[in-house]
Structure 1
Amino acid sequence: MERITSFEEWAALMEAGNTALLFVKTDNCSVCEGLYPQVLGLQTDYSLPFYQVNVAQVPEIAGQLALFTAPVVLLFYNGKEYARFARFVRMEELKGRLQELVERGECD
């Protein structure tokens, strides 16, 4: 999972119309630490790029993406937010939304 170090970096990826997953975490978050390996494990099953950002290090992204908690998993389709999962993420729901992108031909 590639790290995002600034909002500008993320905005450039989305301006290009990319389809991607963004995992948002913060410092001292046990739920974030527990969820991260589960989401990371999905990376081998889907060909879209997976990114992570720590909002404690890039606070601007929280404001720009209207993030009020952590963890948050965001799916983007053609540069636009497609799905949002916050705090307690149901992995089956996340897999279902990823499968929808597979069916659209956006990832394998």
Structure 2
Amino acid sequence: MEQIHHYTELTERMAGEKFVLYVMSEGCSVCHADLPKVEEQLVRYDIPHAKILVNDMPEAAGQLSLFTAPFVILFADGREFHRQARIIDFKTLDYRLSQLAAL
């Protein structure tokens, strides 16, 4: 999964038609364990996606209200469509990804 390093690039990607953002934190074992599972689900859908390391982009934490990690946020037409934090329900995530792909 591509990693975004600059907040301006992140805002440009979020403003697109569809986008999935995975947020992880440095030293977070759950973040690293969930990343392959999220990537596995994204393979089935043709939706642009990327990840950020919240420690390197504190402005994203403030602007997106990211108070914990891991975090998955789905965007549709520049607006937040769905979000999950800390304990990711992969069945619900798959359902929401299918909805986003159908838009």
Q: TM-score range by the shorter chain?
A: over 0.9
> Residue 10 of structure 1 corresponds to which residue in structure 2?
10
Contact 2:47 2:101 in 1 (8 A): no
> Residue 83 of structure 1 corresponds to which residue in structure 2?
82
Deviation string 1:65-84 (CA, Å, 9 cap, x unpaired) is: 11100000000001111000
SS in 2 for 1:39: helix
SS in 2 for 1:51: strand
TM-score normalized by structure 1?
0.90
Aligned counterparts of 1:90 and 1:78: Cα–Cα separation in 2: 24
- Residue-pair matches, total: 103
Aligned counterparts of 1:56 and 1:27: Cα–Cα separation in 2: 6
Counterpart check, 1:61 vs 2:60: yes
Unmatched tracts of structure 2, length 5 or more: none
Counterpart check, 1:40 vs 2:36: no
SS in 2 for 1:66: coil
Cα distance, 1:14 vs. partner? 2.6
The share of aligned pairs that are identical, in percent, is 39
TM-score normalized by structure 2?
0.94
Cα distance, 1:42 vs. partner? 1.6
SS in 2 for 1:81: strand
Cα distance, 1:12 vs. partner? 1.6
> What is the CA RMSD across the aligned residues, in angstroms?
1.0
Which segments of structure 1 move beyond 6 Å, counting only runs of 4 or more? none
Contact 2:46 2:101 in 1 (8 A): no
Contact 1:6 1:61 in 2 (8 A): no
